[in-house]
C-alpha cells in the first residue's frame, strides 16, 4: 500500500511494504507476484516511460520527472521516489528494484548515465521498444484466444454427456458411483480429463511469446554508442546491465554479426543495430502468429487422444451399462 503525506509545503513519499529482501530472496519474491499483476504492470510501463521522456526533454530533472509521474497516479513512480528519497537509493537501482521489464528501463537509464547519452531520447527509444513488445504480445494473445477457448470448452464435453444421459432418464450417475465397473470408468475418465487439461495448457503456454523485449540488446547497445563510447566498452556496459540473463545468448551472436558487417562495410553500427532491433520485433510477431495458427491444429491431439475417450467413458459407457442393467436379455 502506498500513501503520500504533506510535510512543510513539500511532499514525502512513503511506500508501505515489508522489509526489503536482498539477493535471490528478493528476485524470488518478485517472481511470485500474481500473473495478472505482472501483466498489468508490464502494460503500463511503456506509457510511463514515454511520459518520463517527455518530461525530461522538457527540461525536468530526473527525480523531479519521477515526482511528477508519481503525482499523476503511477504506483511504480511512488515506489521509485520513496526508494530514492527515503532510502537514499540511486534512481537506477530504485527502478531496477521494481522487477519485470522495469529492469530493462533501469539498464537503459544506467547506460545513458554512464556514457552521457540524452536520457529523454533514450527513454523514447525504450518506450517504443516496449510498445512494440506489448503489441506483439497482444496480437498473439488475440490469435491464441479462439483455439484455447475452444479447447477449454471441449473439456466440458464428458460432463455434458453424463448430464444428457441423466436428463434422458438413464441412471448413469448411479452406475458411475455405486458399481465397481462405474468406479473404473470414473477414474479413467477423470484421469484422461486431467491429462487433456494439462496437455492443452502446456501447448498454449509454448505457443505464447517468450518473456522479454525482442531486440533489447541491440537497443541498449545503440544507447551506449550514442554517447560516443567505443564498441568494446559499449558491449561491456550492456553485458554488465544484462548480467542476470535478460536476453538469450543467441542475441549476442546476432550483435556480433551486425558489428562485423558494420566494420566490413564501413557503415555506422548504430543504424544497423536499430534495423536489427526492428527485425527482431518483426520476427517475434511472425513467430507468434505462426505459433497461434499451428496451435489450432495441434490442439486436436489432446481432443482426440484424451477428451473424446473421456466422453466415451463418462458419458456413453455408463449409459450403455444402465440400459443393459434395466433391459432383460432374451438369452438370459
**Domain extent for 147:** 135-332
Residue-level pLDDT at 8: 38
**Is 61 within the bounds of a domain?**
yes
Q: Within this chain, do residues 92 and 150 fall inside the same structural domain, yes or no?
A: no
C-beta of residue 236 within 8 angstroms of C-beta of residue 195: no
Q: Within this chain, do residues 86 and 143 fall inside the same structural domain, yes or no?
A: no
Q: Within this chain, do residues 174 and 311 fall inside the same structural domain, yes or no?
A: yes
**CA Rg value for the chain:** 28
Q: Within this chain, do residues 174 and 48 fall inside the same structural domain, yes or no?
A: no
The 3-state secondary structure of the chain, one letter per residue: CEEEEEECCEEEEEECCCCCCCHHHHHHHHHCCCHHHHHHHHHHHHHHHHHHHHHHHCCCCHHHHHHHHHHCCCHHHHHHHHHHHHCCCCHHHHHHCCCCCHHHHHHHHHHHHHHCCCHHHHHHHHHHHHHHHHHHHHHHHHHHHHHHHHHHHHCCHHHHHHHHHHHCCCCHHHHHHHCHHHHHHHHHHHHHHHHHHHHHHHHHHHHCCCCCCCCHHHHHHHHHHHCCCCHHHHHHHHHHHCCCCCCCHHHHHHHHHHHHHHHHHCCCHHHHHHHHHHHHHHHHHHHHHHHHHHHHHHCHHHHHHHHHHHHHHHHHHHHHHHHHHHCCCCCC
**Is 289 within the bounds of a domain?**
yes
Beta bridge partners of 10: 7
Q: Within this chain, do residues 66 and 164 fall inside the same structural domain, yes or no?
A: no
Round to whole Å and give the CA distance between 126 and 50: 8
**Is 119 within the bounds of a domain?**
no
In tens digits, what is the pLDDT along the chain, a chain of 332 residues? 444 444 334 455 444 443 333 333 333 333 333 444 444 455 678 889 999 999 999 999 999 999 999 999 888 889 999 988 888 889 989 998 888 888 889 999 999 989 988 999 999 999 988 888 888 888 888 888 888 888 888 889 888 888 888 888 888 888 888 888 989 999 999 999 999 999 999 998 888 887 778 888 899 999 999 888 888 999 888 888 876 545 556 677 888 899 999 888 888 899 999 999 999 889 988 888 888 888 888 888 998 999 999 999 988 888 888 888 776 655 55
**Is 113 within the bounds of a domain?**
no
Total domains present in the chain: 2
Q: How many CA atoms lie within 13 A of 316 on its CB side?
A: 8
Beta bridge partners of 7: 10
Q: Within this chain, do residues 69 and 188 fall inside the same structural domain, yes or no?
A: no
Q: Within this chain, do residues 88 and 209 fall inside the same structural domain, yes or no?
A: no
Q: Which of 305, 324, 68 is nearest to 193 (CA)?
A: 305
Q: Within this chain, do residues 95 and 164 fall inside the same structural domain, yes or no?
A: no
C-beta of residue 221 within 8 angstroms of C-beta of residue 238: yes
Residue-level pLDDT at 167: 84
Q: Within this chain, do residues 88 and 168 fall inside the same structural domain, yes or no?
A: no
Q: Within this chain, do residues 88 and 161 fall inside the same structural domain, yes or no?
A: no
Round to whole Å and give the CA distance between 276 and 255: 8
**Is 9 within the bounds of a domain?**
yes
Round to whole Å and give the CA distance between 228 and 218: 16
Cβ neighbours of residue 61 closer than 8 Å, sequence gap 6 or more: none
Among residues 45, 79, 100, the one where a domain terminates is: 100
**Is 262 within the bounds of a domain?**
yes
Residue-level pLDDT at 17: 42
**Is 213 within the bounds of a domain?**
yes
Among residues 75, 100, 125, the one where a domain terminates is: 100
Cα dihedral 170/172/174/177 (nearest 10) = 180
**Is 127 within the bounds of a domain?**
no
Q: Within this chain, do residues 145 and 252 fall inside the same structural domain, yes or no?
A: yes
- First-to-last alpha carbon distance for the chain, in angstroms, is 74
Q: Within this chain, do residues 177 and 51 fall inside the same structural domain, yes or no?
A: no
Amino acid at each position: 500500500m502506498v500513501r503520500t503525506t504533506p510535510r512543510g509545503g513539500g511532499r514525502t513519499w512513503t511506500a508501505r511494504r515489508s522489509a526489503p529482501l536482498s539477493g535471490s530472496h528478493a528476485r524470488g519474491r518478485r517472481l511470485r507476484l500474481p500473473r495478472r499483476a505482472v501483466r498489468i504492470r508490464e502494460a503500463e510501463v511503456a506509457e510511463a516511460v514515454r511520459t518520463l521522456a517527455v518530461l525530461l526533454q522538457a527540461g525536468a530533472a530526473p527525480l523531479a520527472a519521477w515526482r511528477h509521474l508519481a503525482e499523476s497516479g503511477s504506483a511504480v513512480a511512488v515506489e521509485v521516489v520513496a526508494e530514492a528519497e527515503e532510502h537514499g537509493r540511486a534512481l537506477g537501482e530504485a527502478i531496477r528494484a521494481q522487477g519485470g521489464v522495469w529492469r530493462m528501463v533501469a539498464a537503459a537509464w544506467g547506460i545513458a548515465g554512464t556514457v552521457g547519452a540524452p536520457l529523454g531520447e533514450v527513454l523514447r527509444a525504450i518506450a517504443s521498444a516496449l510498445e512494440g513488445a506489448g503489441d506483439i504480445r497482444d496480437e498473439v494473445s488475440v490469435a491464441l484466444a479462439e483455439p484455447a477457448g475452444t479447447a477449454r470448452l471441449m473439456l466440458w464435453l464428458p460432463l455434458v454427456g453424463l448430464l444428457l444421459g441423466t436428463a434422458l432418464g438413464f441412471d448413469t450417475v448411479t452406475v458411475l458411483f455405486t458399481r465397481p465397473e462405474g468406479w473404473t470408468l470414473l477414474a479413467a475418465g477423470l484421469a484422461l480429463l486431467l491429462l487433456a487439461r494439462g496437455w492443452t495448457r502446456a501447448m498454449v503456454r509454448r505457443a505464447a511469446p517468450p518473456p522479454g523485449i525482442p531486440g533489447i540488446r541491440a537497443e541498449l547497445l545503440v544507447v551506449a554508442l550514442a554517447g560516443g563510447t567505443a564498441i568494446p566498452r559499449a558491449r561491456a556496459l550492456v553485458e554488465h546491465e544484462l548480467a542476470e540473463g535478460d536476453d538469450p545468448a543467441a542475441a549476442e551472436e546476432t550483435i556480433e554479426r551486425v558489428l562485423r558487417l558494420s566494420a566490413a562495410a564501413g557503415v555506422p553500427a548504430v543504424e544497423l543495430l536499430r534495423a536489427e532491433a526492428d527485425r527482431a520485433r518483426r520476427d517475434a510477431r511472425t513467430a507468434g502468429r505462426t505459433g497461434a495458427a499451428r496451435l489450432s491444429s495441434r490442439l486436436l491431439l489432446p481432443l482426440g487422444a484424451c477428451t473424446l475417450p473421456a466422453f466415451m467413458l463418462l458419458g456413453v459407457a455408463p449409459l450403455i451399462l444402465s440400459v443393459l442393467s434395466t433391459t432383460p436379455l432374451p438369452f438370459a
